[in-house]
């Protein structure tokens, strides 16, 4: 892991929630995201995707990060429900074996686990799957 | 940036999705019932057949650089309020549910257990453990197929189905003593309202969040009334743990305007969160 550093909330973009309709169960989230992840922190690593699991209630990406000393560290990233990615047609864009730069909100318990924020693909594409900054100007306009 | 896809405007989709996740007031749900007559079967009964609600999709497009940005919008935070992304949805929905004046009334000997399940909900909620939601928590069906003798309910939730005889039979003597999440159901018409009586439940499910337990002697009566392109579903729970029957809030569903839309497979549920909970906070 390169670093865990605090970035301003304004740096955060946004994310998927449930764009799924027919395929998304109409159930409320079963726990608060901040009950598991520190939404004020941003972690990062570069790792090879080893498994992309389309499962409920949250999709998972598993990575292997090869450290400078040759040791391998495993990472697990969580996302929204699978309905969001399915409806968005994003399921097959993640390729096992490709190396991604990943940023995430880290789990409080120190495990190599996080709520994914952003993945940069080998070709430079950036996929952001996160939550909107609720303090942003755009969000504040909703209060007008 | 390379070629590809970037999406803006998904905020709208996220907001729509958030609305989908919450019980919406009837006034928000589609066209007025008088927009279409209630279709009827040959014997004059209302025909409940159809795909109800749902439809649509993400409609994502990438930007010129190939980037995709998908935004999930919650309640904005007031300037100066200590706030981080995604901290509002569960909290807001939890407050909303707790403020509902229509709650099950438990006999005093069950109060302590309900409170325990509430405060330990992240670890105790069967939904979080990937168990079936069961009746009545699963709510109204997403698709109904009606024949002369059966109703088939399909749910966009763990690929759940129910087959409900409407041929006048009584509860099955064995299945009504089973311990299942959806029980043994039989349906009868009361005028234009389909009344479904279900018994034979496990006590492993909850009536609702937070921690509304029930016994395995529970009986659930669902009432479905179709008016034009909407139906109203309402469940009443009769249970030994309750001081009085609980008449749940009615749910209205609108006929999907695109009846060629498919109810697609729900993918498996695998909990990987409970072992990593930092707090018990749900909402």
pLDDT one digit per residue (tens) for chain B, 283 residues: 333 333 333 333 333 333 333 333 333 344 555 578 999 999 999 999 999 986 555 567 788 988 988 877 777 888 778 788 877 777 788 888 888 999 999 999 999 999 999 888 888 899 989 999 999 999 999 999 999 999 999 999 999 999 999 999 999 999 999 999 999 999 999 999 999 999 999 999 999 988 999 999 999 999 999 999 999 999 999 999 999 999 999 999 999 999 999 998 999 999 898 888 887 766 5
Cα(B193)–Cα(B224) distance, rounded to whole angstroms?
Answer: 6
Selection from B174, B103, B180 nearest residue B134 by Cα: B180
Residue A127 confidence (pLDDT): 94
- CB contact, 8 Å: A13 with chain B? yes
Taking residue B170's Cβ as centre, other Cβ atoms within 10 Å add up to 9
Q: What is the predicted pLDDT for the residue at B27?
A: 36
Give pLDDT, residue A23: 33
β-strands B184-190, B193-199 pairing: antiparallel
Under DSSP, the state recorded for B269 is B
pLDDT at A2: 42
Which of B1, B17, B88 should we substitute to test contact with A (largest number of A Cβ atoms within 10 Å)?
A: B17
- For residue A44, being part of any structural domain is answered with yes
- Alpha-carbon torsion angle B166, B171, B172, B176, nearest 10: 130
Q: Is the Cβ pair B65, A125 closer than 8 Å?
A: yes
- List pLDDT tens digits, range A51-79: 999 999 999 999 999 999 999 999 999 99
Q: Across chain B, which distance is largest between two alpha carbons, in Å? A: 66
Cα separation, A32 vs B283, whole angstroms: 6
Apex CA B225: angle with CA B175 and CA B242, to 5°? Answer: 55
- Residues B125 and B277: beta-carbon distance below 8 Å: no
What is the spatial distance between Cα B31 and Cα B20, in angstroms, rounded to a whole number? 16
CA distance A29 to B115: 20
Percent of chain A past pLDDT 70, that is, above it, reads: 77
Name the more confident of A115 and A28.
A115
Interface of A with B in 47-106 (CB under 8 A): 53-58, 60, 76, 78, 80, 82, 84, 86-90
- pLDDT for res B94: 82
Q: Which residues pair with B154 in a beta bridge?
A: B143, B161
Residue A122 domain-assigned (yes or no)? yes
The secondary structure of B7-40 as a DSSP string is ---HHHHHHHHHHHHSPPPGGGSSS-GGGSPPPB
Give the pLDDT score at A124.
96
Contacts of B255 (CB under 8 A, 6+ apart): B30, B50, B51, B52, B229, B230
- Here the CATH number for the domain that contains residue A120 is 2.40.50
Cα B205 from Cα B94, distance rounded (Å) = 19
B258 Cβ contact partners less than 8 Å away, ≥ 6 residues apart: B55
Q: Model confidence over A84-96: pLDDT tens digits?
A: 888 878 899 999 9
The residue with greater pLDDT, B179 or A15, is B179
Q: Which residue has the higher pLDDT, B76 or A106?
A: A106
DSSP 8-class letter at A67: P
Distance between first and last Cα of chain A: 41
Query: Which phi and psi angles does A124 have, rounded to 5°?
Result: 100, -10
Which helix (DSSP H) or strand (DSSP E) does residue A82 occupy?
A: helix A82-88
pLDDT at A144: 59
Q: Which chain B residues have a beta carbon less than 8 Å from that of A56?
A: 130, 158, 266-270
CA separation for the pair B235, B247 (Å, rounded): 6
Number of compact structural domains in chain A = 1
Look up residue A16 and give its two tokens.
């998927």
Report the C-alpha gap between B231 and B233 in whole angstroms.
6
Q: Do B68 and A127 touch (CB under 8 A)?
A: yes
ipTM beyond cut 0.85: no
Q: Are A15 and B86 a contacting pair at CB < 8 A?
A: yes
Q: Out of B84, B85, B122, name the one closest to residue A31 (CB).
A: B122
Distance from CA of B125 to the nearest CA of A (A): 8
pTM of the model: 0.82
Report the gap between the CA of A56 and the closest CA in chain B (Å). 4
| pLDDT given for residue B33 in this prediction | 53
| Of B256, B283, B247, residue with least CA distance to B103 | B247
pLDDT at B56: 52
């Amino acid at each position: 892991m390169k670093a865990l550093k605090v970035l301003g909330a304004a740096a955060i973009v946004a994310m998927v929630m449930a764009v799924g309709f027919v395929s998304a169960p109409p159930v409320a989230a079963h726990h608060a995201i901040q009950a598991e992840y520190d939404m004020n922190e941003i972690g990062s690593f570069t790792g090879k995707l080893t498994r992309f699991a389309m499962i409920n209630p949250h999709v998972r990406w598993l990575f292997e990060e090869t450290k400078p000393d040759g040791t391998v560290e495993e990472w697990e990233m969580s996302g929204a429900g699978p309905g969001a990615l399915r409806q968005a047609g994003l399921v097959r864009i993640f390729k096992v074996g490709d190396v991604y730069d990943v940023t995430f909100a880290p789990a409080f318990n120190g495990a190599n686990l996080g709520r994914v924020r952003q993945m940069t693909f080998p070709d430079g594409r950036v996929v952001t799957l996160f939550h909107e900054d609720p303090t942003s100007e755009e969000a504040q306009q909703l209060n007008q | 940036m390379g070629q590809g896809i970037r999406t803006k405007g998904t905020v709208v989709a996220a907001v729509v999705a958030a609305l989908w996740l919450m019980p919406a007031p009837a006034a928000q749900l589609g066209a007025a019932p008088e927009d279409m007559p209630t279709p009827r079967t040959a014997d004059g009964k209302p025909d409940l057949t159809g795909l109800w609600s749902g439809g649509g999709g993400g409609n994502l497009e990438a930007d010129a650089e190939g980037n995709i940005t998908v935004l999930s919008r919650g309640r904005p935070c007031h300037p100066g309020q200590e706030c981080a992304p995604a901290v509002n949805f569960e909290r807001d929905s939890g407050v909303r549910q707790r403020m509902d004046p229509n709650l099950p009334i438990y006999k005093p000997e069950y109060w302590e257990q309900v409170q325990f399940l509430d405060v330990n909900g992240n670890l105790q909620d069967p939904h979080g453990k990937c168990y079936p939601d069961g009746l009545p928590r699963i709510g109204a069906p997403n698709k109904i197929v009606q024949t002369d003798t059966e109703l088939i309910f399909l749910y966009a939730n763990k690929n759940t189905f129910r087959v409900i005889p409407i041929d006048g039979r009584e509860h099955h003597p064995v299945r009504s003593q089973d311990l299942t999440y959806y029980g043994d159901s039989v349906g009868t018409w009361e005028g234009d309202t389909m009344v479904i009586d279900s018994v034979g439940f496990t006590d492993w499910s909850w009536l609702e969040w937070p921690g509304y337990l029930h016994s395995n002697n529970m009986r659930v009566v669902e009432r479905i009334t179709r008016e034009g392109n909407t139906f109203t579903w309402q469940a009443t729970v009769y249970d030994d743990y309750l001081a009085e029957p609980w008449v749940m809030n009615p749910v209205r569903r609108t006929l999907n305007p695109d009846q060629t839309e498919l109810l697609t497979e729900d993918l498996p549920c695998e909990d990987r969160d409970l072992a990593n909970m930092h707090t018990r906070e749900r909402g």
